[in-house]
Amino acid sequence: MTSERKSIHGQWSTRLMFILAATGSAVGLGNIWKFPYITGENGGGTFVLVYLLCIALIGIPVMMAEIMLGRRGRQSPINTMKTLAEEERRNVNWIWLGRMGMVAGFMILSYYSVIAGWAMSYIFRTASGVFVGATAEGVSSIFADLVSDPEKLLAWHTIFMAMTMIVVARGVKHGLEVAIRFLMPALFALLLLIVGYAMTTGHFMQGVSFMFTPGEISNEGILDAMGHAFFTLSLGMGAIMVYGSYLPKGTSIVQATMFIAAADTIVALLAGLAIFPIVFANGLEPGAGPGLIFKTLPIAFGQMEAGTLIGTTFFILLVFAAWTSAISLIEPAVAWLAENKGMNRLHASVWTGVAAWFVGLGTIFSFNIWSDKTWSIPYLFKDYTLFTTLENLTFNVMLPLGGLFIAIFAAWLMRESSSRDELKTYDWIYRLWRILLRYVTPVAIIIVFLKAISII
Ligand code: TRP
C-alpha cells in the first residue's frame, strides 16, 4: 500500500487545525463537570493518581493508535476498520469496533447535551445576579429547582442539540477554528482566575490535600478513573479516529497527542483546584454528585469582585467547550451515513441529532419524574437511574472495551511496517508505544474490569 487514501470529507487545512479540533473534543464537560464530581465521589487523592497513571499508560498510547488508524483508513471508523482489516488480512468482524463506537458516541451525546443544557441555563442565571451574596444553601436550592423542572431541561437540551447539529451539518472543519483558538485560552484564563479566588477562601490547602494525598479507593473507583481517562481524552469510540482521518500525512501524531493530553489534564486539574477549596470553605460535600460544579462555582461568583461578569463569561465558555466536544461525538455516525447511506451531511446530522435528542429525554426525566425508577444488577450496579446507567455503560464499559480492541488491533494485528510508517517517530518512542500498547494497556484494562466485577 503505497498510494495514500483520501478522505471524501476533506482534510484539515493545517496541522494546527487538527490539534485545535482534537483539543476541542477532549476539553469539555468531562474536565470541568465530571472530573471534579467523580474525584469527589471517589475520595480524592488516590483517584487522581490512578487517573493520571491511566492517562499516561493507557490514554496516550491509545490516542496515538486511534489517530493512526484514522489517518490510515481515511473514512468513518466503521469503514476505516473494514478497510484496515482487509489490508492487514484480518477478520472482517473488526468492523464491530467501529459500530460499537458509533453507538457509544450516540449514547454519550444523549446525556452530554442535557448537562450542557444545565451549563447554558447557568449563563442566564449567573447574569441575572441571583448568586450575588447567595449562601451555599441558596445556590444548592437553585440547582435543585432547575433539575426538578423537566420543561426547562428539555428546552436547553433542545437548543444545545440543535447547535450541535448545525455545526456538524456544515462540516466540522468550518467555524471550529475561531471557537477553539480564542475561546479555549479564555476558558483557561478564567479557570486560573477562579483558582486565584479559591486561594483566598482559606481552604485552598485543604482542597489541594484532598486532591493529592493518597487514601482509600474502591475497585469501582479504579474503574471510574480508567473510564474517565478514556472519556476525557475522547477515546475508545472513534471520535479521535475520525478526526485523525482528516489529518494531512506529514503531521506528527506523537507531538499532537502529547499536546492534547497535556492540555486536557491541566484543565481538569485546574477545575479541581478551583472547586474543592470552595467545597470545603462552605461545608459542602465533595461527593455531591453531578451537580457539584453548579453548587460550588456560583458561590464563588457571588462573592468575587465582578463575579457576575466573570461567572457569566465562564459558563459561556463552558458551553463552547461542551459544544466542540459534542460535535465529535456524532461525527463518526454522520461520516458513516454520508459514506454508506448516500445522505448529505445535513440529513445525516439531523437524523443522528434528533435520535440522540430523543434518548436524552430519558436523562432529563432521570432527574425528576423518573428519579425513583432505578434498577440494580447484583455485583454490577445498584440503584441506577436511566442517566447513571447510560453514563456508566458508556464510560465504564464501552469506552475501555473500545480502547482494548484498538490497542489489540494497532499493536498486535497491524503490521509493524504499517504503524511505523504512520507514526514516523524516533525508534525508542515507537518501541515504547508498542510495548505499552501490546502489554500494559490491555492487561491493565482487563485487570481493572475483572476487579470491578469482583472476580479478582
Ligand atoms: N472528551 C469530552 C469531554 O471531556 C467528551 C467527549 C467528546 C467524548 N468526544 C468523546 C468522550 C468521545 C468519549 C468519547 O467532555
Grid cell, residue 197, equals 479566588
Ligand 1 centre to CA of 114 (Å) is 14
* Cα–Cα distance, 442 to 447 (Å, whole number): 9
Q: In a mutational test of the pocket of ligand 1, which residue from 25, 226, 235 has the highest number of ligand atoms less than 8 Å from its CB? A: 25
Atom of ligand 1 nearest to the CA of 29: 15
Q: In a mutational test of the pocket of ligand 1, which residue from 329, 330, 396, 401 has the highest number of ligand atoms less than 8 Å from its CB? A: 329
Q: Residue 375: beta bridge partners?
A: 384
b/e map 166-190, b = 16+ CB within 10 Å = ebbbebbbeebbebbeebbeebbeb
Q: In a mutational test of the pocket of ligand 1, which residue from 108, 241, 269, 401 has the highest number of ligand atoms less than 8 Å from its CB? A: 108
* Cα–Cα distance, 445 to 341 (Å, whole number): 35
The confidence score (pLDDT) of residue 182 equals: 81
Atom of ligand 1 nearest to the CA of 25: 7
pLDDT of residue 59 exceeding 90 = yes
pLDDT of residue 386 exceeding 70 = yes
- The residue contributing the CA closest to ligand 1 atom 7 is 325
Average pLDDT score over residue span 62-82: 95
Q: Based on the structure, what is the number of domains in the chain?
A: 1
Atom of ligand 1 nearest to the CA of 235: 14
Per-residue pLDDT tens over the stretch 122-180: 999 999 999 999 999 999 999 999 999 999 999 999 999 999 999 888 876 766 666 67
pLDDT of residue 28 exceeding 80 = yes
Ligand 1 centre to CA of 329 (Å) is 7
Q: Where are the alpha helices (DSSP H) in 282-306?
A: 292-303
Ligand 1 centre to CA of 232 (Å) is 5
The confidence score (pLDDT) of residue 376 equals: 85
Q: What residues flank ligand 1, with Cβ below 6 Å?
A: 25-26, 28-31, 105, 108, 231-232, 234, 237, 239, 325, 328-329, 399
* Cα–Cα distance, 431 to 328 (Å, whole number): 30
pLDDT of residue 81 exceeding 60 = yes
At 397 the three-state DSSP class reads helix
Q: Where are the alpha helices (DSSP H) in 282-415?
A: 292-303, 307-340, 345-366, 386-392, 399-408
Ligand 1 centre to CA of 398 (Å) is 13
Q: Residue 381: beta bridge partners?
A: 377
pLDDT of residue 96 exceeding 90 = yes
Ligand 1 centre to CA of 105 (Å) is 8
> Which residue did the predictor score with more confidence, 223 or 377?
223
Atom of ligand 1 nearest to the CA of 26: 1
Average pLDDT score over residue span 409-437: 95
pLDDT band for position 200 (cuts 50, 70, 90): very high
> Which residue did the predictor score with more confidence, 248 or 149?
149
Atom of ligand 1 nearest to the CA of 233: 1
pLDDT of residue 60 exceeding 70 = yes
Per-residue pLDDT tens over the stretch 292-301: 999 999 999 9
- The residue contributing the CA closest to ligand 1 atom 14 is 234
The confidence score (pLDDT) of residue 451 equals: 85
Ligand 1 centre to CA of 430 (Å) is 26
pLDDT of residue 1 exceeding 50 = no
Ligand 1 centre to CA of 295 (Å) is 23
| DSSP symbol at 380 | T
Per-residue pLDDT tens over the stretch 304-334: 989 999 999 999 999 999 999 999 999 999 9
The confidence score (pLDDT) of residue 175 equals: 61
Ligand 1 centre to CA of 449 (Å) is 21
pLDDT, mean over the chain: 92
The confidence score (pLDDT) of residue 2 equals: 44
At 134 the three-state DSSP class reads coil
What radius of gyration do the chain's Cα atoms show? Answer: 21
pLDDT of residue 432 exceeding 70 = yes
pLDDT of residue 16 exceeding 90 = no
In this structure, what CATH number is given to the domain that contains residue 366?
A: 1.10.4160
Do the Cβ atoms of 238 and 66 come closer than 8 Å?
A: yes
Ligand 1 centre to CA of 26 (Å) is 6
Range of the domain at 344: 2-452
Ligand 1 centre to CA of 84 (Å) is 24
Per-residue pLDDT tens over the stretch 343-363: 998 999 999 999 999 999 999
